[in-house]
Structure 1
Amino acid sequence: MENNKSELKKADIKKLIEALINQLDKLNDSTSFAFDSDLYWNITDEELYDPYKNPKELTMGSLIEDWEFLQKVLDGKREIIDYDLYKIASLLRFLGKSTIITKSRI
Structure 2
Amino acid sequence: MPTVAASVFVRNDNGELTPESARICGWSKGAPDIPGRNTNLPRENPRECSPMTEIPVDKLKGVFDLLMERIHTGKQVLEIDAEEFWSVPRDQIYDVYSEPRDLTIGALSDSWSYLEDMLSDPDRVVEYGFVWLSEVLRAIGDQTVS
Fold match by TM threshold 0.5? yes
CA contact (8 A) 1:42 1:58 kept: yes
Q: Tell me the amino acid that sits aligned with residue 84 of structure 2.
A: L
Q: Tell me the amino acid that sits aligned with residue 17 of structure 1.
A: F
Distance 1:61 1:19 in 2: 28
Instruction: Select the residue among 42, 45, 60 that pairs with 1:13.
Output: 60
Extract structure 1 runs of 4+ deviating beyond 2 A: none
TM-score, normalisation: structure 2: 0.60
Alignment partner, residue 44 of structure 1: 89
Instruction: Select the residue among 54, 61, 68 that pairs with 2:99.
Output: 54
Q: Tell me the amino acid that sits aligned with residue 78 of structure 2.
A: F
Distance 2:115 2:53 in 1: 29
- Asked if 1:75 corresponds to 2:81, the answer is no
Alignment partner, residue 97 of structure 1: 142
Distance 2:66 2:128 in 1: 23
Shift of 1:6: 2.7
Indicate the structure whose relative CO is greater, using CA pairs within 8 Å and at least 6 residues apart.
1
Larger proportion of helix: 1
TM-score, normalisation: structure 1: 0.80
- Runs of 5+ consecutive residues of structure 1 not aligned to the other structure: none
Distance 1:37 1:6 in 2: 30
- Of structures 1 and 2, the larger Rg is shown by 2
Shift of 1:51: 0.4
CA RMSD, 1 decimal: 2.1
Aligned-residue identity in percent = 22
In structure 2, the residue corresponding to 1:98 is in which secondary structure?
helix
CA contact (8 A) 1:72 1:78 kept: no
